[in-house]
Amino acid sequence: MQNLIPFSKSFHLVSDSRYQHAAAIECGNNVAIMQQLKGRKKLVKLIIQAKKNFSTAALFLTLATAAVSGSAFAKAPKCTFLANAPDQHRVVRGDTLWDISGKFLQHPWCWPQVWDMNREQIKNPHWIYPGQIVYFDRVNGRLGLGKPGASGGMPTVQLSPRVRSSDSGNDAIATVSLDDIKPFLSKPLIIEENELQNAPRIVATQEGRVYLAQGDKAYVRGDLQGHTSFDVFRPGKALKDPATEKILGYEAIYLGAMKLQQQSKSVREPDTMVLLDVKQEMGVGDRLVAQQPTPFINFVPHAPEQLVAAQIMSIYGGVTNAGQGQIVSINHGTENGIDVGTVLELYRLGRLTIDPTAAGDDKTIKLPDEKYGTLLVFRVFKNISYGLIMQVQDAVQVGDIAKSPE
What's the pLDDT band for 65 if we cut at 50, 70, 90? Answer: very low
What pLDDT does 328 receive? Answer: 92
For residues 363 and 268, give the distance between their C-alpha atoms in angstroms, rounded to a whole number. 73
What pLDDT does 108 receive? Answer: 79
What pLDDT does 311 receive? Answer: 95
For residues 91 and 82, give the distance between their C-alpha atoms in angstroms, rounded to a whole number. 19
264 sits in the region (left: phi over 0; alpha: psi -120 to 50; else beta) called beta
HEC string for 165-179:
CHHHHCCCCECCCHH
- In the chain, what are the domains? 4-74+303-403 (2.40.10.410), 88-158+167-173 (no CATH), 186-290 (no CATH)
The answer, yes or no, to whether residue 85 has pLDDT greater than 70, is yes
What pLDDT does 223 receive? Answer: 94
220 contacts: CB under 8 Å, gap ≥ 6: 200, 201, 202, 203, 270, 271, 272, 273, 288
| Lowest mean pLDDT, pick from 116-130, 215-229, 254-268 | 116-130
What pLDDT does 191 receive? Answer: 82
What pLDDT does 76 receive? Answer: 56
236-272 tens-digit pLDDT: 888 999 888 899 988 888 899 999 999 999 989 999 9
The pTM of this model reads 0.67
For residues 145 and 90, give the distance between their C-alpha atoms in angstroms, rounded to a whole number. 10
Q: Write down the mean pLDDT value for the chain.
A: 75
